[in-house]
Structure 1
Amino acid sequence: MSAATTPARTGAGAAKPGGAGRTALRALQIVLLPILLIGLWWAASIASGVYYLPTPGEIAATFVEVWGSQRLADDVLPSVGRLFGGFALGTVGGVGLGIVLGLSSRIRAVLEPVLEFFRAIPPPVLVPLLMLFVGVNTTMKLAVIVSGCIWPILLNTIEGVRAVDPVLIDTCRCYGIRGRRWLTTLVLRSASPQIMAGMRQGLSIAIILMVISEMFASSSGLGYTIIQFQRTFAIPEMWSGILLLGLLGFLLSVLFGFAERKVLKWYNGVRAAARGE
């Protein structure tokens, strides 16, 4: 009996270094590509000697000088606030309208042509129109963000609601689960994987539209600051703003991924069980 259990213990002990090794390898893969790209960029900037392509060291020094000052409070924080505000409005509108359209085929048939028409209009084209009707203010910038990020959330919510298992719908009906409880327990929970997928796409679009909305007749914000650096030929400063946008997008993606894992913990558990893990 002891001889039979010895290999099992050895195998279990051997699995731990393997897991740690895989984690270390994954961390190396994540870090290796950025280091390689920075090295290539450095070599290209030194070899070319072009003023418009500063070295990463120059950009890093300029980054600390520019964004570590009052500009962080004057430009970055207002931009992030507008980003969150527009994304939140787009999420509420997209999920709310998506539930209605997903549950009612008649309403969907009536509104679908109109929605497809507005979805085909690129949001940046609406900026001059919104400037005329709303003015150059925070409302206009929020409207630009909402006009783009709402669509992936809306469409994914509709498909998620339509894909709710009919067996579960009949089960809820048999047990008398109706109204708000039926909506939150069954519909939203079943559609939540696709809703979260739409929100992830909407967040990426919201970042892009935040910058675009601030490039038109604005006096503050990341988009305004970057375009001002470009117009005054402050090239390292311009690159530092682009770098900040990239870091902001990466940070938001990581935070959203963390929230997504928390919200869809039940779903990931079901998938793992289906795979026999």
Structure 2
Amino acid sequence: MILRRLAWCWLLPVAAVLWEVATRQAQAVYFPPPSAVVARLHEMWFSGPPWRGFLTDEAFADLLPSLGRLAAGWAVAAAVGVVAGLAIGRLPWLSALVEPLLHFGRSVPPPTLLGVFLVFFKIGTPLQLAAIVYGVIWPVLINSTDGARHVDRQYIETGQVYRLGRRDRLLRVILPAAAPKIFAGLRLSVSLALIMMVISELVASTEGIGHRMLEAQSEFDIPAMWAGIVLLGLLGILLNAAFIGVERALLGWHRASRTSSR
């Protein structure tokens, strides 16, 4: 296992060197070498003074608004999706009433509704938040519903034997039992939130990473455009790693129980 991890650690620098050599030999306009992309990335966003965390004015104008909208949209979608999913999963009448609408809603690609959002929301943060929430809520909602619906019957009966009220039964029995599936939906929603953040900023925004990439494209600043792509990839890796850390901390009991059962 350790040798495999070391092999993967060496793979990235080797790939970067091969990319550098190949792009310099090809001299393709639209595929700049990694060194030029990293230099432009540093110049645009991370060449500020140390007392500001090396962030430039462009970083405050682009990164912070984008990350703020991503966090706010994801938090709203996660809260609504978990609460609604638990209710739908535990109430058969509610499931029969809304589940056909849910399957219809999640089958509609979120980018196709940006025109509809333009009618109901102002251009800027309200529209972008609506787009992020709509694109993110579905995996959380579906997984929460499925997790709450398939709670082991023995857990429910145990709660009834101990005469737990509805609130305690929900918080101490149903929610922990559904937590693994809920977190699977939440983890998938993080990457979707990043995607919807960029799409919404490409269409209706005057700031943010997506808007900066659109400006770079219109000005034929190819290294800046690639710098935005690399930055989004790095953000995706960092967000996924942070979420895995939180998941392991909160669901350590679940991993321990699975290991002991083996």
TM-score category (smaller protein):
over 0.9
Q: CA deviation at 1:218?
A: 1.1
Q: What secondary structure is seen at the aligned counterpart in 2 of 1:215?
A: helix
Structure 1 residues 73-84: aligned runs within 5 Å:
73-84=60-71
**Higher Cα Rg, which structure:** 1
Match of 1:109 in 2: 96
- Residues 54-83 of structure 1: CA deviation (Å, up to 9, x unaligned): 111111111110112211111101100100
Match of 1:158 in 2: 145
Which of residues 119, 131, 146 in structure 2 aligns to 1:144? 131
1:195 equivalenced with 2:178 (yes/no): no
1:60 equivalenced with 2:38 (yes/no): yes
Task: State how far apart, in whole Å, the 2-side matches of 1:181 and 1:36 are.
Answer: 54
Task: Quote the sequence identity (%).
Answer: 39
Match of 1:135 in 2: 122
Match of 1:89 in 2: 76
Which of residues 215, 240, 244 in structure 1 aligns to 2:202? 215
Task: State how far apart, in whole Å, the 1-side matches of 2:155 and 2:29 are.
Answer: 63
Query: What amino acid is the match of 2:195?
Result: I
Task: State how far apart, in whole Å, the 2-side matches of 1:224 and 1:33 are.
Answer: 32
Aligned 8 A contact 2:148 2:175 in 1: yes
Instruction: For structure 1, list consecutive stretches of 5 or more residues without a partner in the other structure.
Output: 1-21
- Residues 192-215 of structure 1: CA deviation (Å, up to 9, x unaligned): 000000001111111000000001
Aligned residue-pair number: 253
Q: CA RMSD in A?
A: 1.1
- Residues 228-253 of structure 1: CA deviation (Å, up to 9, x unaligned): 10111001111111111111110001
Q: CA deviation at 1:26?
A: 4.2
Aligned 8 A contact 2:124 2:204 in 1: no
Q: CA deviation at 1:135?
A: 1.5
Q: What secondary structure is seen at the aligned counterpart in 1 of 2:188?
A: helix
Q: Which moved further from structure 2: 35-44 or 129-138? A: 35-44
> If the length of structure 1 is used for normalisation, what is the TM-score?
0.89
Task: State how far apart, in whole Å, the 1-side matches of 2:152 and 2:204 are.
Answer: 49
Instruction: For structure 2, list consecutive stretches of 5 or more residues without a partner in the other structure.
Output: 47-55
Task: State how far apart, in whole Å, the 2-side matches of 1:217 and 1:171 are.
Answer: 52
Task: State how far apart, in whole Å, the 1-side matches of 2:145 and 2:7 are.
Answer: 37
